[in-house]
Structure 1
């Protein structure tokens, strides 16, 4: 009897451990909906749960000994079990995978390991990580830390959004009772250095600024040493970097939690009040919300208006701004020096741009950075690049620069970085900062302004009376000398009274309204004969308004205006821009065109970022579209037109990137039987002019063919015609011929096209471009022949050496003296 008692007691002692909670799951011991796994330190527990009032059951992990139960990980977020299914279980299958089975033994969720692993166990670790371990090799085959839900625990990694399968990214629950992935996500951006973001679907909701090696500079320290709890771990460039957090003390229970409403919180358990408390959250204030003030504006929570434009900028819409709608942001008040063309510089101030320091802010988004570049070098780089809007020098990051809109700037009460904003000299008043002036300065400026206005009004009145007296209140405009000997009165008759001319006439005051008084924020660009502004008619149609500049009684502008309204109003082709109307009041000459969403070709082709949008099919479509437009002008239209000013800035792109030839101010009409003409007024852009036109004033359709060839090389290479090759110091046209002759034509192609499979088609385009840009007109194909060559597979003629352009430059200064800017049309008067 005694021996039996001892035997039973021994069996009971052996069996007791199997009745207590364990942290191990094996093939032989699946867990049911009533069983759980508990980590060895008794902090974490894994099992089935029902969230709130839900009718679904999930497998998850939570903190074990805390009464306010919080779920920190869910396995089957998108594949719930029914509450009524009591036969569900978690098991390890024969292939080594974890599986959740319903009451009918159907797999609801699996870890999805590829391969077959005979000996595996699953363990809930003391850090809250649920792992599958290979007992033979000791390696971890899968872990829950790689697939977080809405919680980031110490030891987890927060990864980059570009990672596949969403690994290491947090995603919110739909609501407190539904673990299904919601709209919000937290992760790192793929840029260098990375930022931490909260995204609402694909739109940013909040960002923490770039990583400086110890912290995110857009998150000011809430308490000393917070940055000691986070670290950024570099990984290979394909996967980006990972952020991890860790506990300062082993007794701490803290975690980062993404709420269903997109608020990111650092929570900790407070034993004193027995509840969860919040240590930090984002966004915490309205200024924390991404882009709340729009571009080129700063948000300050301590100010009543909250949003204000940066110094030198004004609201995009005063009406919206006054109503508290700031999302459209601000626009620059005055042009930068580098944005002015040669004509503007001749009539205005030429004082250099300056930098204005804005202190203690959250630096804007969309930056580029230059590691190991010093502060002075950084400033010089920014000043030397017209696209650079601002720069900053941050210890740990070094030089940062902004070439896009300055977005999401916040004023901090403590901490923050300093930004150097690029301003025109006119906006660099040292007495102002972010649009604020001292009271004394305001009084002085007000008095000076009032006095100046009164003086100006008096001068204008006297001038008006004197002019009226001298001219006898004439209403007709003076005659002027032009190539055709026409007067301005005659011009108006030609424009308004021709039987075939039915172009709508707009009132000047109407154009003033739709362009907001020709405000700088609506300015699309500027050429040699005037500026172009964006506007919107009452019916909602967007338009582009070209305001021609009339330079004196004998200057340019009027003849160009006549050409546009007489010529283009008669032309209808899908690859020509459409003229909607015109305006002639006093000295004002306005042309109203259809608005092109993507502006001009040069804004994409010569921009380091935007050029990537021009893949080879898009470029080839543009090449063919321009060619079709020229065929129509030369051969198929009711008039025979020579454009004379073909260049990338005169090729507009619609919303589908289809090309449209614009700017017919310099165009000439020919008789159908006329092959060429001579002119004493040589106009156009140097670098695109054919040799016979630039040197002798001879015009023909082959003049446009030459310009087309130059444009072809620009479209293929992504380089401006006037850029010279630094190593050889020759024009790209000559460089293209030498490269083609030596079998190195592929080197001319834009690097962003690499891997697009366009080599053979691109090389053919280069050869056609060289044929179009031959020195002698007889050696160039017609536009019809050129387009046929691009599309056919026949063998092409071999181009000759371009002697006219094959000239080596001794210095960059000589190059500058020879050519004008590609963006500006120039005139060269040469008597014959």
Structure 2
């Protein structure tokens, strides 16, 4: 076969020929013929490129496939017979190049030498007798198919587990095989495209897969960056659709943060252990950390101690040891039976950096650098406790910080108090502020001092510079009126339960949204004050930012940052800007809302229940990032309080949990229920209470029916047909149904929901029957049954409507 010729498979799916990968160099390669992208799936001469027009592929006298250019002979196959008679090379419809003799015996096949692409029917594993290894290796770069840095392989020493390697370093693990997938890859068990299998006997062990529908075109690759990716070809859009990728999360990559640093999935960031500092002062903590003080490894007053770290995923380490341990190199094997002995064995070994002990008598020790430690949520059942060895002086450093902190806090507090006192007095003299507004100003001073103290206590080496917090801004009525063109109808964005909302522009050019409390509003000054005091405390990228307020001339006005893309319901249930709400945007919106709720429930200073989470209260910035708004109905819980009861049921029909709607009982699980409804609306593009179906069920009931019948994919918004990742879609529906379970105790918390959405490794329980799944649509009647409701919020800042029970 010459350079101008190609060998094609019987169904025209693949072709073999001399192709360029981007430069003038030629490689003997197999590529996909039936897709316009012509993706290369295999290269014979990855380590030696050819050039010119005289290159040919032939079978030599030894019966091997060789590439010849007149000067160089490159052997493609090996181990063939001594004669080339009756031999033939065939490209199969599977993409496998095979060499056979006249009796059709298989002598050699390209599937035994995979590169970066794993096709259906290939093997990933090893042969116990011959030592043959089937592994995937990345390209050197996008144009050079030579062997790159990354390899995907199975390790005979680890039972049925696939590892991503960089040299001898483990970067990621699939977990063990558990039937139809790996433990750390749940997306493999939630699909209807691929049939994954694991085969093992005394001769060989390998992982392989096939397609349920052979007409589907798929690619499984390891790319030049070390990511494992699965794609499916979409004929309608003529492009590859991403199905899943591993490692998906930053923390999933082993040693992503360097030594003595802990990785957090929630923030995708690295943090040095207490008593350590970043190796790279400018580059942050991703490059690892080192000790502030060297360990003493001695006795007496200078004896080292340990830093306790809870809810962690233990680091992967080849130096990890478990019972039975050889505590004395020249002595017998002994079993460590208590935590004190386990601690002492690490304390008395100068090379030991950390230890862990569990009640089953397993003592684990780590030596040298601690790599790959990961912070888990408090509710994660896989979390463990580890003890990091620290020098005695490093452990005791914190008690001296407050000796320095007290005068610094006083220096911060006294000037701030004087400034606020003078400003309040001046405003009162001018008639621009009343006594009810003073607590807003004074509260901000409390916030500033708390923040300063927290920042100081979090550092062991230096005092961080206090950020320049100013008192909560009070706008005068004249400036607000000017900004909104005297509250003109042209500036009006919409109207909710509190009153109208206007777009405005300050003198500095900043765009704002102005919520003006109507004097006839059913929700009055108490709700406005509640929202002001609550949102003034909150700082999160997925919560709307309150810029200030106006409390003069009988007006009660809130000023917010302006959200140019208005509210989520206008995209989900409206008729404009449909193209902006693609699958990727919806995923970002879902995860952003979840992060915002998690902050309210767990990480803000007080536990906050929103009580009116809905599509019209999710605002979208210029980049379609979500921000939760409208805290007028929100409630704070202090201490360990988890729930409360009220006789005043407020909120929006369709998003209320059953225990709140029927009994007035609300908790964080009430917000979780609302989030589940919102999640179903986002993936389906349908409104819960305005959903019309032949069986007259609401959206929750329809989703439950589809899930019970293994038809969850049918819930998908038709606009997403060529974009969606089906395993992710099914996972989101699964999570939504867990959130809308009838009993509050069965629902997950947001600290559990976030990893369910963002971490494919998280195992999901089977949902119990959803609440209201037999309820008829409240708006469904004979006059409306043929259309969806046309109303939606057009507000930039929306407010909740109180609905009857």
Q: Which has the larger radius of gyration?
A: 1
- Normalising by the residue count of structure 2, what TM-score does the alignment of the two structures yield? 0.40
Ranked by relative contact order (alpha carbons within 8 Å, sequence separation 6 or more), the top structure is 2
- Normalising by the residue count of structure 1, what TM-score does the alignment of the two structures yield? 0.39
